[in-house]
């Protein structure tokens, strides 16, 4: 990380991507990003992570078979 400003920028990036960062802070962040490769890379990693999370789908497991249910009942006795 280059300096303390980077720490401040890192802390603002999530709000920035969510559209919740005040305009004043957006301007500061965008100016900083024009010349800071580590912050640009971190921003890209956050964008990539958000995209992966958006695509994630929970797959419902099928119910256990009768054989598995019976084995569980026996094991729990």
Over residues 47-77, the pLDDT tens digits come to 999 999 888 888 888 899 999 999 999 999 8
Cα–Cα distance measured from residue 23 to residue 72, given in angstroms and rounded to the nearest whole number: 58
Q: In this model, does residue 43 exceed pLDDT 90?
A: yes
What's the helix, strand, coil split of the chain in %, to 5? 75, 0, 25
> Is 70 inside any structural domain?
no
> Is 73 inside any structural domain?
no
Average pLDDT over residues 27-33: 92
> Is 19 inside any structural domain?
yes
Q: What is the pLDDT of residue 4?
A: 84
Domain, as residue range, for 11: 4-55
> Is 11 inside any structural domain?
yes
**Number of structural domains found in the chain:** 1
Higher pLDDT, 3 or 31: 31
> Is 63 inside any structural domain?
no
> Is 41 inside any structural domain?
yes
> Is 31 inside any structural domain?
yes
Q: For a pLDDT cut of 90, what percent of the chain falls above it? A: 58
Contact 39, 10 (CB under 8 A): yes
């Amino acid at each position: 990380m280059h300096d303390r400003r980077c720490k401040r920028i890192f802390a603002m990036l999530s709000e920035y991507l969510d559209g919740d960062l005040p305009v004043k802070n957006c301007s500061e962040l965008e100016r900083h990003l024009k010349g800071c490769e580590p912050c640009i890379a971190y921003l890209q990693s956050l964008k990539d992570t958000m995209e992966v999370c958006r695509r994630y789908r929970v797959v419902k497991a099928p119910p256990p078979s009768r054989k598995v249910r019976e084995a569980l009942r026996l094991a729990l006795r």
